[in-house]
Structure 1
Amino acid sequence: MTSTTLEGRDPTVRNVILLAICQALAMTGMSVNMTVTALVGQQLASDPAWSTVPLALQFTATMLTTLPASFLMKRIGRRAGFAVGVSIGIVGALAAFHGIFERSFLIFAAGSMLIGCFQGFAIFYRHAAADTASAAFRSRAISLVLAGGVFAAIVGPELSKWSYDLFEPITYAGCFIAVACVQAISFAFLYFVDIPPVRHTSESPDIRPLSEIVRQPTFVVAAVGAMIGYGVMSFVMTATPLAIVGCGYEFRDAAFVIQWHVLAMYAPSFITGSLIQRFGVRQVMLVGAIILVGAALVNISGLEIERFWLGLVLLGVGWNFMFVGGTSLLAECHSPDERAKVQGLNDFLVFGTVTVSSFASGALLNSFGWNAVNYGVLPLLALAGSVIAIALWQQRKAA
């Protein structure tokens, strides 16, 4: 796509397209990463219970990066901030590659943490789209950026299947070379992103303290929905490749299931924004919680590969409804001057939940099995569903 073509578009539409492409590239790398990281951890760890520790450390790094990334982008701009994140991601992928060749669990874990730092920047692609969109277009802009993950769903697992034996007999090392190359492509598209910085004027409203902002019922619903939706998705998805291979299926079967899972995460984004506009954000989030319950029940029902597939498809759709809904709702909680700290805090909470779930997932699977992983998410989903349902009831009562 040429500079002339891009500059001829409406700035909001152009930015959404560019951010969707960058999101697609980021998620392609993460799709590869999610498919193989736990399996590499299993190869390198001295104890099978540590298999998911590199992935958990990755989410820890994402959690710890969200606030610094948000404030850095407030200072230097979205485009420069995203470029810093991509650079860190490339270094992390190369470090993970080196760790596999050296058979070093510590080096591989360090590379995973750097990849997690990159994700701490990449999760702001959706917020960047919301920043430039009108209120009427905001939920669709967020959805369209997340829809870039459809590309990741198709390309990511195929890339992992093509590259995992590229350096035989050292398996999975090629996957991280592929991740580094995919992320490097992002620079070509970030060059054209043009998001004006927030201008602070004397007419700007007073910036409220976080303690006041987080007490808003809207913030509570947005944060709880996104935290539990993302945490449950990560908890089950992290354990899935280990469970599939542990049942005697091949790596390609695990890659196939993850491919459909990622597709289900992002394909609904083409319509989620429209559903939110038609039915309401809280209604869509509540349906997402119900779908996630269905995913857990399907996973509990048997160990056939078809059940793994269906359970992970439902897991992806439920996550999409809750996460897109939570992100849309969050934009109603803050002014432009409050944006950096509110978005940073929200994503810190979300990925804090994801970090805990990732650490727990491998240990629970190793100690108690696949069914325990899925039973474990049901109380959390009951909590999220209750919070959203109460907010919906209060909204209708007030109306």
Structure 2
Amino acid sequence: MVVKTEGVVSVEQSLAKNVWVLAGVLAFANCSAPIIVFVGSIVGGLLAPDKSLATLPVALFVVGAATSAIPTALLMQRVGRKPIFLLGAAAAMIAAIFAAQCISRQWFWGYCVSVFLLGMTNAVVQQFRFAAMESVKPELITQAASRVLLGGVIAAFLGPELALYFKDGGGVEYSGSFYALAAMLLIAFFLLLVGYREVPQTVEQDAETPRPMKEILRQPILWAAMFAGVIAFAVMSLIMTATPISMHVINGFNLADTKWVIQSHIAAMFLPSLLTAWIFRRVGVVGMMLLGLTAYVVTIVIGVWDQHIMHYWFALVLLGIGWNFLFIGGTSLLPKSYTNSERFKMQAINDLSIYVAQAVVSLLSGWLLLSIGWSMLLIICLPLILIQILVIVYWRKTAH
């Protein structure tokens, strides 16, 4: 009896350790996203035959993630999370090296393919939060999700710093940035290999019968959770993708200033995770989502006010904070809408919805910026914020 108890404690300790392992892996694996955000459209502008295609690589990064969201989740359901995590890290390394080679050869379309492949592997990285939530007791899922996202704070600074420091390291400008990314992904691979432990499933969990999709989709709580993620990413991606072009290309801010704003923004996306669990306990999931939406509104006000560097900085920092609160609120709410046997399917649908929205706004971002300007680009985010408020109100009314 004592031996069995010790075994259970050992498993629980290793699962709790999973959360910190995944946070560490995210610090390296998630470097791809800030590097693409920081230099993706700049490299695109240097290589593209038409300058209007400059933001296409950033959009393809998101499209790649959308393309692989459902296959990734279904493969994890069949073979487990760890093999797919390792496969994703290995594929990302190859894609990063391919990107560097394409930049060296001034091959725009090859560069687009490599970024698309990096996006596909990013769908694997986005599953880290679900793996962390499954590694702890139900009452700790918010803490698990927020702790994993802390790894993004390191990636927020490490990614752009690597991109800038090694940009000339490959012989052609920015090729070295992607060789450096490949090195970070190698570290992520080994951390996963030695540190992550697969979460065991009980016979009862495997034997559950999933409900019909129509029944699942009739739940207002599901729509509140999914819309939170979709709108969190749609507003954030639309503004963030346009920022380097607005700052560096249109307004003439130097690359160092642009990097500082983007780094601060990405740090603000993840750093609030230190306090997210504490805030969640005090205001609840609805309060967290409303705080995120409020931060988005203030972002728009500051951005419309003026376009000095500090206006960009404050707006992008608030944009990151708003994303954190809204996204973690939706992520914490989502498991309440599905059973364990439905989790892979619903997690895949949730992430696919997010990526589709993110891909659409990323594709439109550059065109909208050049067509209607920075201020109007911000203002058109207001209807999305209103939609999320109405969805929350409807969910709460039907819950009582």
Q: How many residue pairs are counted as aligned between the two chains?
A: 389
Q: CA–CA distance in 2 between the matches of 1:392 and 1:338?
A: 23
The match for 2:261 is 257
Q: Deviations over 1:236-261 (max 9, x none)?
A: 10111111112111111111111100
Report Cα offsets for 1:92-114 as digits up to 9, x if no partner: 11121112111111000000011
**For 2:34, which of 25, 31, 37 is the aligned residue?**
31
Matched, 1:127 2:130: yes
> Post-superposition shift, 1:385?
2.0
CA distance in 1, matches of 2:332, 2:358: 20
Match of 1:15 in 2: 18
Deviation larger for 155-164 or 130-139: 155-164
Q: Aligned equivalents of 1:372 and 1:43: distance in 2?
A: 27
Shift of 1:8: 9.7
1:376 partner letter: I
- TM-score of the pair, normalised by structure 2: 0.93
Distance in 1 between residues matched to 2:300 and 2:49, nearest whole Å: 30
Equivalent residue, structure 1, for 2:356: 352
Q: Name the structure 2 match of 1:3.
A: none
- Of residues 348, 362, 365, the one that matches 2:366 is 362
Q: Does 1:78 align with 2:81?
A: yes
Pairing partner for 1:171 from 173, 176, 181: 173
Match of 2:189 in 1: 187
Question: Partners in 2 of 1:213 and 1:390 — Cα distance?
Answer: 17
Deviation at 1:48, TM superposition (A): 2.1
Structure 2: how far apart are the matches of 1:323 and 1:111?
28
Residue in structure 1 matched with residue 91 of structure 2 by the alignment? 88
Q: Name the counterpart of 1:306.
A: 310
Is 1:158 aligned with 2:158? no
- Equivalent of 1:207 in 207, 210, 213: 210
Distance of 2:11 and 2:224 partners within structure 1: 39
Structure-2 separation of matches of 1:128 and 1:31: 22
Q: Deviations over 1:6-53 (max 9, x none)?
A: x89812321001011111112223212210001111111222221111
Task: Indicate the residue corresponding to 1:335 in structure 2.
Answer: 339
CA deviations 1:213-267 (Å, max 9, x no partner) are 1221111000001101111101110111111112111111111111100110000
Match of 1:4 in 2: none
- Alpha-carbon distance between aligned partners in 2 of 1:177 and 1:70, rounded to the nearest angstrom: 28
- Matched residues in 2 for 1:282 and 1:307: separation? 29
Provide the rounded CA distance (Å) in 2 between the counterparts of 1:13 and 1:132.
6
Matches within 5 A, 1:98-113: 98-113=101-116
Check 1:8–1:382 CA distance in 2 against 1; reply closer, same or farther (3 A cut).
Answer: closer
- Counterpart contact for 1:86–1:118, Cα < 8 Å: yes
Q: What TM-score do the two structures reach when normalised by structure 1?
A: 0.94
Deviation at 1:79, TM superposition (A): 1.0
Structure 1 counterpart of 2:227: 224
What is residue 277 of structure 2 aligned with on the other side?
273
CA distance in 2, matches of 1:83, 1:274: 33
Q: Quick one: distance in 2 between partners of 1:44 and 1:102?
A: 10
Structure 1: gaps of 5 or more residues: 1-6
How far apart, in 1, do the equivalents of 2:317 and 2:260 lie? 11
Alpha-carbon distance, 1:377 to partner: 1.1
Shift of 1:394: 4.9
Question: Secondary structure at the residue paired with 1:280?
Answer: helix
Q: Distance in 2 between matches of 1:151 and 1:272?
A: 17
Structure 2 residues not aligned, in runs of 5+: 1-9
Question: Cα distance, 1:86 vs. partner?
Answer: 0.8
The CA distance in 2 between the partners of 1:389 and 1:271, in whole Å, is: 25
Contact preservation (8 Å) 2:32, 2:118: no
Identical counterparts, % of pairs: 33
CA contact (8 A) 1:225 1:285 kept: yes
Contact 1:213 1:334 survives alignment (8 Å): yes
Give the AA of the match of 2:274.
F
- Which of the pair is proportionally richer in helix? 2
Q: Whole-Å Cα distance in 2 between the matches of residues 135 and 8 of structure 1?
A: 16
Contact kept? 2:15, 2:199, Cα under 8 Å: no
- Give me the whole-angstrom Cα distance separating, in 1, the residues matched to 2:178 and 2:266: 18
CA displacement 1:276-313 (0-9 Å, x = unmatched): 22221111011101111111221111111111111100
2:223 partner amino acid: V
